[in-house]
Amino acid sequence: MKRNPLIPYLLIAFLGIALVFFLSVKGLGDAKEIAKEKEGGGEKVTEKFEPEAFAKQTCIGCHGNNLEGGTGPNLHGLGAKLGKDKVKDVLANGTSGGMPGGLVKPENIDAMADWLVKLK
């Protein structure tokens, strides 16, 4: 019996296709896992919301390195003066005077306002 000379090529082609198929299935699985990790990570960030660390990232640009004032006013003692409700309103909606709203995620505004009211 004479072997068809095409068989080795066909075998290799088939292996190649199988490999591509395998990798794409594996890739899909990995992508799902990564998405899951991201979701989990996101939740953790929300749980561990640290107003002070957040302020050091997000507010110091305008309120000064120690929140002692810059373009924006000194934040020490300001929260207590304004009251928590007003602070929450400012964080959510900003002011017409240049304070941008929406910097703090809605679910973190309460914790952020609590911290600001206590910032002496």
What is the Cα–Cα distance from 104 to 88, expressed in whole angstroms?
Answer: 10
Q: How far is the CB of 68 from ligand HEC (least distance, A)?
A: 13
Over the window 74 to 93, marking each residue x when it contacts ligand HEC by CB under 6 A and - when it does not, the resulting string is -x--x---x----x--xx--
Q: Which residue is nearest to ligand HEC (CB)?
A: 97
Size of the site for ligand HEC (CB under 6 A): 23
**Region label for 97, one of left (φ > 0), alpha (ψ between -120 and 50) or beta (otherwise):** alpha
**Subset of residues 88 to 117 that bind ligand HEC, contact rule: CB under 6 A:** 90-91, 95, 97-100, 103-104, 116
Counted residue by residue, the chain has a size of 120
Backbone angles phi, psi at 64, to 5 degrees: 90, 155
Over the window 44 to 73, marking each residue x when it contacts ligand HEC by CB under 6 A and - when it does not, the resulting string is -----------x--xx-xxx-------xxx
Q: How far is the CB of 16 from ligand HEC (least distance, A)?
A: 54
In single-letter form, the type of residue at position 118 comes to K
Do residues 84 and 117 lie in contact, with contact meaning Cβ atoms separated by under 8 Å?
yes
What is the Cα–Cα distance from 11 to 77, expressed in whole angstroms?
Answer: 76
Residues that bind ligand HEC (CB under 6 A): 55, 58-59, 61-63, 71-73, 75, 78, 82, 87, 90-91, 95, 97-100, 103-104, 116
